[in-house]
Amino acid sequence: MSDKIDSLIRRKISRRAALVGLSAGASFIAMPWVARAADDTIRIGFPTPLTGPYAAEAKDQVKSAELAVKLVNDKGGVAGRKVELLVRDGKLNGGEAATRTLELIEKDKVHAVVGALSSAVQLAVNEVTRARGVIYVSISQSDTINEVKDFSKYTFHEALNPHMTTAAVARHAIKKGNKVAHLVADYAYGHEMLRGFKRALTTIGAESVGELLHPIGAPDYSTLMPRLRAMKPDVLCISNFGRDQANSIKQAADFGMKQQMKIVVPVLLHNQRLAVGPEVFEGVVGGANYYWELEQQLPSAKAFNDAFRAANGGAIPTDYGAYGFTGISSLLLAMQAAGGPDTDKVVAALEGLKYDVAKGAQHYRKCDHQSVQSVLVLESKKKADMKSANDFFKIVENEKPSEDVLRSCKELGFPA
């Protein structure tokens, strides 16, 4: 074998062969750039955790994002240019999502990035886009991304944030003088929700009687339930996400906690209610950015639902799915207003944008680029009250969009 390699190495290469090889190599290297320069498609990167515990929510986001792009392309695109969505798997891992985002920016030359589904991962993506001056529309809950330390001129936060969500839920589910216990997932999302609830309780005049932390992805809560019951609360706030929400509520119901206290969650998840059924979730109150029955109140919700049903075989859009739609739609509206994907013009357009694409009026606050929007407070229905298979929740309240429910720009550290 080594002889063969020896003879290969020793063989003389003719000049012609060398020239052919060199030019072939050079054209191979140059090819992607040559191809890129010719097309004028507007490309939007969409890193999202297609694998991992939040995969169900992520896939809903992709469906809605694709719908938003399709609707715009059907009408002729943005300023006559087609829009393309590049979906990448961020694997619910900050490093991975940051790498995918780098690839999207450096190799695919995207004009903007939308996505990430985790309070931690969006901060990683934000770090990459911020350093390179690329527009990023984040569609996952976070309080940190609003604060001045992580702020970027190019970043817009389309999702609700824990502060506004917990405040709205607490206002409608917790009364003055109530005793409140907390069960919290031990990571950023849980901690931010807990902080939000505690702050809201002080405003309302309710009392926190204790908190228990559980690791993310915990399957068993049976040791925690008796301890929570021993705190004798009127309300139990369960601040966790995804599968953890369904598991913890199910076990609280098994322990008969619901007879003694009301269960409140910051975000009432459509997919989790779907996974465990109406009996378990009955009476649980929580917040949401979107619920499909808004279509009875809002023409924009009706239009979004109808388009989604038509594209997805009659299925309805979910809460986290809707973020994909509103996030992409607001960006494309701004690009249309700016007449193309020029970053500075689109940033200016986003700052001045007033849009209603699915859930009523929205706009981005000037100082921190947080989307000012309505917050829904939902209550899970009894099986007997459900009018259709998807009729999960009753809309307790649709809080009107207001900057007053956000932390003030000064508190976030922005100059007044």
Partner 1 sequence: MTTKSVPLATPVVPAKRPSSNLIATITSWRVLLSIAILCLLPWVLPSKALAVNVLIYGVLAMGYNLLFGYTGLLSFGHAAFFGAGAYITGIAIGQFGVPWYGAVLLGVVGGGVLAFVIGGLSIRTRGIYFSMVTLALAQLVYHVGLQASSWTGGENGLRGFTVAKIDLFGVSINFLDPVNKYYILMVFAALALWFVSRVLNSPFGAAIEAIRENETRARACGYDVERTKLLSFVLSGLICALAGTMSALHLAFVPLDVLHYQTSGMIVMMTLLGGASSFFGPFVGAFAFLLMEDVFSLWTSHWQIIVGSIFILFVLFLPKGIWGTFLAKVIR
Instruction: Name the residue nearer to partner 1 (CB basis): 91 or 270.
Output: 91
Q: What residues have CB less than 8 Å from 121, skipping those under 6 apart?
A: 49, 90, 92, 93, 94, 97, 140
Please report how close the Cβ of residue 343 comes to partner 1 at its closest, in angstroms: 15
Q: How far apart are CA 249 and CA 77, in angstroms?
A: 45
The residue behind tokens 């388009």 is 307
Q: Compute CA 397 distance to the chain's CA centroid, rounded to the nearest angstrom.
A: 22
Shortest spacing between CB 188 and partner 1, in angstroms:
4
| CA distances to 29, 31, 76, 94, 350 from 35, in Å | 11, 6, 23, 31, 30
Judged by beta carbon, residue 130 or residue 258, the one nearer partner 1 is 130
Q: Locate tokens 């339930």: which residue?
A: 225
Neighbouring CB atoms inside 10 A of 383's CB total 9
**How far is 222 from 251, CA to CA, in rounded Å?**
7
CA 300-304-90 angle, to 5 degrees, is 125
Identity of the residue, 48 or 300, whose beta carbon is nearer to partner 1 in the bound complex: 48
Nearer to partner 1, 97 or 349 (CB): 97
- Closer to partner 1 by Cβ: residue 213 or 396: 213
| Secondary structure letter of residue 261 according to DSSP | S
217 vs 360 by CB, closer to partner 1: 217
Q: Work out how close the CB of 213 gets to partner 1 at its nearest, in angstroms, rounded to a whole number.
A: 12
Min dist. Cβ of residue 327 to partner 1 (A): 21
Least Å from the CB of residue 50 to partner 1: 4
Name the residue nearer to partner 1 (CB basis): 145 or 322. 145
| Tokens (6 digits) for 203 | 């405003």
Rounded to the nearest whole angstrom, what is the least distance from the CB of residue 121 to partner 1 in the complex?
Answer: 8
DSSP 370: B
Name the minimum Å distance from CB 146 to partner 1. 13
Residues 6+ away with beta carbon under 8 Å from 50: 58, 59, 62, 87, 89, 90, 91
CB 187 within 8 A of CB 278: no
Binding site for partner 1 (CB under 8 A): 1-3, 5-6, 9, 29, 50-51, 55, 88-89, 91, 93-95, 98-99, 102-103, 106-107, 119-120, 123-124, 127-128, 130-132, 144, 149-150, 187-188, 191
